[in-house]
Structure 1
């Protein structure tokens, strides 16, 4: 899709690496342009042809460092249940435009920019006349973007969250000063440096499986290594100080606002060490329509964890989507 989509021009195809995505048959990818002219990539996997009439569409909001192909197996499950799956590469990652001369550094000027990516995805969904109702499924950073989306006007009947980034896991000594420090670093001369403890190395290529914070499933770990090895353009490494500052301030602001009024399901691994579990529990506790489930032994990637966790999380998310009004 280009900006001329609003004038009825044809959609602009983008690459979709099906050989590493292992998604449902019939997947298509498109280039989209946000209102600020940043080019992002979106992909649609349709509901399985053997299913009855499509049950709706699930918008999938990925996390930081992620890319469309990583969610091919999740789309298989959604497709088999009768749902189309629409997802994207956020600005600054995957095959979307990257803002810095160092393309491996994760960076965003403002977290509000991600909402312009969401608006571009809406335009694509409308142009494709995707089946309704629409549900929202998100992971990690995508959970912060999703919560902000749901706090405004939106088209979603319900939402499921995997390890949502409603607080960033920080060393205990930094927690008390995180917000003042974020304000100090925000847009400073240091803001484009790598955050301390990170660098140009890509996590799955630099970290041994035994000590990783993402998944306990060795097959998933091998898949992630295979994907970035096959398509190096998907690689993203550590975040900039600006990204961290923006993330801290965004999470703090979200925590001050009333939760949106719709039913939601939240999954969190008992061994979570990337997002802040206390922040997830606090948000869930004040969200009257929310159900929080803790998965014993699971780490960050619930949709890419061991089979029982992955199945349990997606079973619960699909039950939520099945209950959407039609």
Structure 2
């Protein structure tokens, strides 16, 4: 595959030394960005961090530093439509995807890059929020991850009783009426962390991490993203339904769910993990959506548990046959 150097905003990423980023072209000619950190001594394999909607590689620089301390390399993806990857609509503030499985094209390009760079094996995946939906399909289809972990995975979307029927009407009828590029009612085109004060936010209880996110987007506003499109919502609802219909893979799994989760569907996560024979669900009392952005006394034990799972499954390896389809 071909790839070329891309910017990595190390002034705000806070990752370990030696980080780099690359532009990649997907099979449908979309440009995405993948950042990676490969510190000396990263002999335990590579963690592939699949971010959520609105996120970008720099947000996980500190996470890469934590994994570096535990002997892992790490990469993070800017999915199509967000971060520095190609935005898909004329208004770059709108998060959009034509078909949710298109994200698997981004996954395949990322796996190909990891192969070209000879990133340490075995490979593991952590999927957060939307990245949890992308990551679970990747685990099912690619079969190249020795173990997986998820934080607040989007295996269902949380709606209040009032918003649930309205959101479905918007998602399905809105797209049929040619309004797929419009945004759902009550949503905003402004970045959540820049428009929402820390008090009452639904992402993290840690003011330092919330400020980090604000500082990153203030310094580099081109990373920011606002509301999703109606088509993104429809595609996401369909993907969540597909996910819940699939049998659980046999890949060892650890999933974290905040007790105060208000973005994804807690019932769907509990149901998915209840029939995962090689999986464990850990609920964080009073935790919000972004477990990896919580305070150190929460984040540290979570990272320790994930690292322990990955180390315990190093012998699973990364099958070469699964790397390129």
TM range (shorter): over 0.9
Q: Which runs of 4+ in 1 moved over 6 A?
A: none
Matched residue SS, 2:148: strand
RMSD, aligned CA: 1.5
| Alignment correspondent of 2:320 | none
| Alignment correspondent of 1:86 | 75
| Alignment correspondent of 1:323 | 312
- Quickly say closer, same or farther: Cα 1:188–1:128, change in 2 above 3 A: farther
| Alignment correspondent of 1:96 | 85
Matched, 1:68 2:57: yes
* Aligned-pair CA distance for 1:154: 2.5
- Quickly say closer, same or farther: Cα 1:207–1:179, change in 2 above 3 A: closer
Give the one of 124, 132, 136 matched to 1:135. 124
Give the one of 33, 45, 50 matched to 1:56. 45
Distance of 1:154 and 1:121 partners within structure 2: 14
| Alignment correspondent of 2:23 | 31
Contact 1:187–1:242 (CA under 8 A) maintained in structure 2:
no
Matched, 1:157 2:146: yes
* Aligned-pair CA distance for 1:302: 0.3
Distance of 2:109 and 2:312 partners within structure 1: 27
- Quickly say closer, same or farther: Cα 1:39–1:187, change in 2 above 3 A: farther
Matched residue SS, 1:58: strand
Matched, 1:222 2:214: no
| Alignment correspondent of 1:8 | none
Matched, 1:109 2:85: no
Map Cα deviations across residues 91-124 of structure 1 (whole Å, 9 max, x no partner): 0000000011100111111101100000000110
Distance of 1:102 and 1:173 partners within structure 2: 29
**Can you give the 5+ residue segments of structure 2 that lack an aligned partner in the other structure?**
316-325
**Can you give the 5+ residue segments of structure 1 that lack an aligned partner in the other structure?**
6-10
Distance of 1:124 and 1:241 partners within structure 2: 32
> What TM-score, normalized by structure 1, do the two folds share?
0.93
Distance of 1:192 and 1:76 partners within structure 2: 37
> What TM-score, normalized by structure 2, do the two folds share?
0.93
Give the one of 240, 249, 252 matched to 2:229. 240
Map Cα deviations across residues 15-44 of structure 1 (whole Å, 9 max, x no partner): 000110000100010000000000000011
